[in-house]
Amino acid sequence: MCNLAQNFPFIKEGDKFTIEFQMDNNKIRVGITQGDVNGIGYEVILKTLEDSRMLELCTPIVYGSAKIASFYRKMLNMPAVPFSQIADTNEISGDANYIINVVGEDLKIEPGEETRIGGDAAFSALERAVADLKEGKIDVLVTAPINKHNIQSDTFKFPGHTEYLQSVCDDGSKALMILASDNMRVALVTTHLPVSQVASALSSDLILEKIKSFSNSLKKDYMIVNPRIAVLSLNPHAGDEGILGNEEKEIIIPAIEKAKAEKIQAYGPYSSDGFFGSGSFKHFDGILAMYHDQGLIPFKTLAMNDGVNFTAGLPFVRTSPDHGTAYDIAGKGVADNTSMRSAIYAAIDIYRNRERYADMTHNPLRKQYFDKSKDNVVLDLTSDDKDTNY
């Protein structure tokens, strides 16, 4: 027991006093959207949150429906996951799983079916969670899968989460889609775009913009000081010196050279098949693909279960599992929640990394410059010259 009188002489034996300890609850508030209610979203959310250890890392807030969560728990015969229903995040108090109801009690659930109702419910959750995210009521956003077709409406005219999240930013931020796992990070120049439009959408300026954004994210979000980025080609065999296409010579290589001129370690272009088949991807911190399937097919082949979709380049952190709604297995209890769990972990790590990066770069030391052009000159160390740098 601590002897307070010994350590604090002004305290006399017998004095009564109260000591108040203030402890910061610095657990990150993780907003989780329900996604398409007819897909596997609730199953992977419930399987993730049934592990009580998650509460040691964060405060989960699900934007969805307590009734739907209960429906899936009973349907799948899962252990009870206790939720505290709240109307707003200011009601959060203590360690618990929280849920904010964003849809009506009478919403019809049809596991495995694509419905208009499912799309509307997915957007209701996304819209409310993003509003809270922008207001600082939650720290990070983790989105369960949506169906890109049934979510379309007058208020959602985007090919996916990535484009929608970019649109809600007021600072002109541009999103960069990154698929990440423990051993690979793949970013995309073009995202949800028909293959027939990819070549015409590419330009040296766009590729350079994505290289710079990727490099910045690898530094800030993944704490890699001087990242090495591999840039993939558009055409087979990197165009074979123009035989199979000129985009490499005319667009991609100039962008890589400009990036190098800005002290970014960018290399390539590499032909996608040989690059992944030979294991060359292991030598780089990041891989920039020209289009969606070029990067995501090898990524999901190698890291399907624990892969995470991260939207870089925005002022807030958003992650999601790297899989879709999976209607074919919805309601069957066989969905793997590893990717959802990894998405939550990644969101927490990236949020913390951004805090650390901001602290490290907030007030950097003034850079010292030394003129080495006269290193062969013997200095008079007895000089009274106050401006001499030794």
Beta bridge pairs of residue 98: 61, 84
Q: Which of 24-33, 90-99, 226-235, 352-361 has the lowest mean pLDDT?
A: 24-33
pLDDT digit string, tens, across residues 31-70: 999 999 999 999 999 999 999 999 999 999 999 999 999 9
Amino acid symbol at 44: V
pLDDT digit string, tens, across residues 262-302: 999 999 999 999 999 899 999 999 999 999 999 999 999 98
pLDDT digit string, tens, across residues 116-141: 999 999 999 999 999 999 999 999 99
Q: How many residues does this entry show for the chain? A: 390
Strand 58-64 vs strand 28-33: parallel, antiparallel, or unpaired?
parallel
Phi, psi dihedral angles at 141 (to 5 degrees): -125, 130
Q: Which of 211-215, 299-303, 310-314, 372-376 has the lowest mean pLDDT?
A: 372-376
Is the separation of the CB atoms in 237 and 272 below 8 Å? no
pLDDT digit string, tens, across residues 330-383: 999 999 999 999 999 999 999 999 999 999 888 766 655 555 554 444 444 343
Q: How many angstroms separate the CA atoms of 13 and 6, rounded?
A: 10
- Residue 74: pLDDT band (50, 70, 90) is very high
Across all residues in the chain, what is the average pLDDT? 88
Give the other-Cβ count within 10 Å of 379's Cβ. 10
CB under 8 Å to 349, separation ≥6 — which residues?
none
**Which tokens sit at 292?**
């969606």
Percent of the chain with pLDDT over 90: 77
Query: What are the DSSP calls for 97-153, one per residue?
Result: EEEEE-S-TT----TT---HHHHHHHHHHHHHHHHHHHTTSSSEEEE----TTTT-S
Question: Quick one: 278 exposed, middle or buried, by C-beta within 10 A (0-12, 13-18, 19+)?
Answer: exposed
Q: How many angstroms separate the CA atoms of 229 and 254, rounded?
A: 15
Give the other-Cβ count within 10 Å of 158's Cβ. 15
pLDDT digit string, tens, across residues 156-168: 999 999 999 999 9
pLDDT digit string, tens, across residues 19-32: 343 334 579 999 99
Amino acid symbol at 159: P
